[in-house]
Amino acid sequence: MAAYSQTPDWSGAVSALRQSTSVLIIAHVTPDADALGSALAIGLALESLGKSVQVSVGEPQFQVPMSLNFLPGQHLVVPPENVVVPDLVVSCDTSSDARLGSLAESLNAAPISIALDHHASFTGFGTIHLIDPVAPATAALALELIDRLGVELTVDIATAIYSGLATDTGSFKFQGTTADTLRVAARLFEAGIDHATLARRLFDDEPFEALVMMAHAVQHAVLDRQAASGLGLVYTAISLADRGTMPELSMERVIEALRRTSEAEIAAVFKQADDGTWKGSLRSKTEINVGAVATALGGGGHHYAAGWTATQDLDAAIANLKTELEFAARG
């Protein structure tokens, strides 16, 4: 049984937002374009309704990473230390309040909090739930909320929404993409987005050292054909030393490269965090639900994309992953 209502409470969310005067919108830590794009789009919509809006991420002295600094609405972003207590909090693309970092307290202390998310592993925090595990991106739900608030779709809002939608669908390649997804994308084109520039900023714009890191990670990739009852696993690891000054998003490209491997149903990348722990990212092609695998390992996610933080050393983390994949493959 899921820890949330299966029917999004749109009318509850709209009336709470209409009655509010100050709103804090939180994206998950190490935000991607879906989390931050959704937060900024909603922020711009609420600003146009005369609300006082803050957008933040619960990381010390948070600043928008360079890879996302083209998103409209940057003037709404405040570091968590400067957040003024709002009367309503919205979380975007966050399945567990632990992923809100230092702002989890702000959400849990707020009299009204709206959780907007598309993770099947959503844990049920917040007082109003707008959860749809079938939605291809939180950004699609953000647009529905903006529509229901009666706010006009400006080019800035459309740009922020498109960034989330294009990212979470892998440029409209992933399984969750539907005819409705493309109809939403068409609306965003009609609103005037510059999709070619956005695609370059989102997918094809990295410093040279990212290419060097990619080469290193790919060269050290391991193919285990026996893993997952013979479905196959391809994996690599990126240590702190390999990472250098690379931002988080560039490392996502590594798993996108690995998952092309024909001989492997599953791709995994282990990234070492600043505190030395290993964060695992998982992708599957069809059969294996890596969201369930990641949940068993203490993380969470979707059928085709998921992640967790390993508490062991790298060899043990790889061994644990293989054990869980074996369980998953045997059903």
- Which residue lies nearer to Mn ion by CB, 259 or 302? 302
Taking the complex as a whole, the smallest distance from the CB of residue 288 to Mn ion amounts, in Å, to 20
For residue 104, count other CB atoms closer than 10 A to its CB: 19
Taking the complex as a whole, the smallest distance from the CB of residue 98 to Mn ion amounts, in Å, to 16
Tell me phi and psi for residue 215, to 5 degrees: -60, -45
Stretch that binds Mn ion, among 33-41, 213-221, 230-238, 302-310 (CB under 5 A): 33-41
Taking the complex as a whole, the smallest distance from the CB of residue 137 to Mn ion amounts, in Å, to 5
The tokens for 310 are 């390993």
Stretch that binds Mn ion, among 69-77, 90-98, 140-148, 233-241 (CB under 5 A): 90-98
**Which of 34, 132, 242, 265 touches Mn ion (CB under 5 A)?**
34
- How many residues of this chain bind Mn ion (CB under 5 A)? 4
Q: In sequence order, what are the residues at sequence separation of 6 or more whose Cβ sits closer than 8 angstroms to the Cβ of residue 64?
A: 36, 71, 74, 77
What separation, in Å, do the N-terminal and C-terminal C-alpha atoms of the chain show?
A: 19
Asked if 242 interacts with Mn ion (CB under 5 A), we say no
- Which residue lies nearer to Mn ion by CB, 37 or 86? 37
**Which of 25, 93, 283, 299 touches Mn ion (CB under 5 A)?**
93
Taking the complex as a whole, the smallest distance from the CB of residue 291 to Mn ion amounts, in Å, to 12
C-alpha to C-alpha distance for 326 and 331, rounded to whole angstroms: 9
Stretch that binds Mn ion, among 27-35, 194-202, 279-287, 305-313 (CB under 5 A): 27-35
Alpha-carbon torsion (257, 240, 101, 291), positive or negative: positive
Stretch that binds Mn ion, among 29-37, 152-160, 225-233, 235-243 (CB under 5 A): 29-37
Closest residue to Mn ion, Cβ-based?
34
* Residues 134-153 as x/- pattern, contact with Mn ion by CB under 5 A: ----x---------------
Burial of 293 (0-12, 13-18, 19+ CB in 10 A): buried
C-alpha to C-alpha distance for 47 and 61, rounded to whole angstroms: 23
C-alpha to C-alpha distance for 320 and 117, rounded to whole angstroms: 28
The tokens for 282 are 């998982």
Taking the complex as a whole, the smallest distance from the CB of residue 315 to Mn ion amounts, in Å, to 31
Stretch that binds Mn ion, among 31-39, 144-152, 275-283, 313-321 (CB under 5 A): 31-39
Taking the complex as a whole, the smallest distance from the CB of residue 138 to Mn ion amounts, in Å, to 5
Q: What is the DSSP string of 212-246?
A: HHHHHHHHT-EEETTHHHHT-EEEEEE-HHHHTT-
Token match 């809002």: residue?
A: 157
* Residues 289-308 as x/- pattern, contact with Mn ion by CB under 5 A: --------------------
Cβ–Cβ < 8 Å for 247, 66: yes
Q: In sequence order, what are the residues at sequence separation of 6 or more whose Cβ sits closer than 8 angstroms to the Cβ of residue 330?
A: 229
Taking the complex as a whole, the smallest distance from the CB of residue 162 to Mn ion amounts, in Å, to 14
Stretch that binds Mn ion, among 93-101, 225-233, 257-265, 288-296 (CB under 5 A): 93-101
Order of all β-strands in the sheet with 222-224:
222-224, 233-238, 266-272, 278-284, 305-310, 300-301
The interface with Mn ion within residues 157-176 (CB under 5 A) comprises 168
Sites of contact with Mn ion (CB under 5 A):
34, 93, 138, 168
